[in-house]
Amino acid sequence: MQSVLIVEDSPMVLKIIKHLAAKTLNFKLVYATTRAEALTHLAQEVDWLAAIVDLNLPDAPDGELVDDCLEQGIPSIVLTGSVNKEKREALTKKGIVDYVLKEGRFSYLYAVNLVNRLSRNRFIKVLVAEDSKMTRRYMVELLKRHLFEVVEAEDGEQALQKILSDNQIKLLITDNNMPKMDGFDLVHQLRHKYNNHDLVAIGLSSAEDKYLSAKFIKNGANDFLYKPFSHEEFYCRVMQGVESMERLESMKKIAYSDALTSIGNRRYFIETSREELKNCTEQNLPAALALINVDHFKDINEDYGHDVGDEVLVHIAKMMAATFDRFILARTGGEEF
């Protein structure tokens, strides 16, 4: 299990964070109140997911512990009592994930939730399409701070081919003005295959056309960002897009899952198999269909009760899911699969 380091010298603040972290985080939680104590933990543990660190500690008044964590490659969320332009820029330059002002329970909940966000980001692949090497490198660095898996493309054509060949890419950040294929055409082409829930697209441009953002969104983008942008605005747009996608995926999972067995339901089977049959026809591939009905299931319900019958169905579904993991599997009603 990965560990999360939480360092705060205020007993009251630490108590609040401990309460929130215990309810929210499913990781090994390691607490410290000083830099010395934190360094001991850092020397003992290896697999760190993230750290929530107070910027000003009694034995580290100038953020020395933040530097310690970053030097070990630990994504760091900084707690601070105040922030101004100079401090914000200094923290950003260090390479922190984010800073959180100590303004109350909601602020600490934000910091704790950000750890879960980092954990989920590791399984999200992002493609950055930008012909400017410097700008592309900057965005890639920002995304990697938040533990996203990042793929790069130098132009629209290259981006299109990478997305079409990799269905794991869930987020596209694309500049508008690129050689070979611009951002408008890239998004427009992708929308023939992916809707704006399956692939989130954020457009970028340095142009001053006030209608550009509307044009990009009407062309299929989920959001738009003018360059140059602050790293905070960049993160806000990215997180908004990713979390919107996750909410819709969660709703879709509920809509397409059987409530009892958690495998696909009738709707899932009909819609998915139609698409699969279409692909088989187009590619001249064989297809097979199996209809499975549990024999004498009515007797189980009558002799042992419906609760036991439900357990039998759940067990059968688990065995079938493990055996036929590469096939479309669904419960279409009662004891029918």
Task: State the pLDDT at residue 84.
Answer: 85
In the block, tokens 């983008």 appear at 221
Give the strands of the sheet with 223-226, arranged side by side: 149-153, 125-129, 169-175, 200-205, 223-226
Q: Domain segments of the chain: what residues?
A: 3-119, 122-250, 266-323
The mean pLDDT value for 175-181 works out to 88
Cα separation of 59 and 337, whole Å? 64
The mean pLDDT value for 36-56 works out to 93
Task: State the pLDDT at residue 198.
Answer: 87
Q: 3-119 maps to which CATH number? A: 3.40.50.2300
Cis, peptide link before residue 58, omega less than 30° from 0: no
Confidence band, pLDDT 50/70/90 cuts, at residue 90? confident
Q: What is the pLDDT of residues 251-310, one digit of tens each?
A: 888 999 999 999 999 999 999 999 899 989 999 999 999 999 999 999 999 899 999 999
66-71: which pairs have CB atoms within 8 A and are 24 or more residues apart?
66/91, 66/94, 66/96, 67/94, 68/35, 68/38, 68/39, 68/42, 69/5, 69/42, 70/94, 70/95, 70/96
Residue 176 has pLDDT above 90, yes or no: no
What is the pTM for the complete model shown? 0.81
Residue 312 has pLDDT above 90, yes or no: yes
Q: Which CATH class is domain 122-250?
A: alpha beta
Please report the sign of the dihedral spanned by the C-alpha atoms of residue 293, residue 296, residue 298, residue 300.
negative
Tell me the chain's radius of gyration from C-alpha atoms. Answer: 25
Task: State the pLDDT at residue 333.
Answer: 87
Q: Would 3-119 and 122-250 be classified into the same CATH topology? A: yes
Cα separation of 149 and 15, whole Å? 34
The mean pLDDT value for 1-16 works out to 94
Cα separation of 298 and 74, whole Å? 57
Average pLDDT, the chain: 92
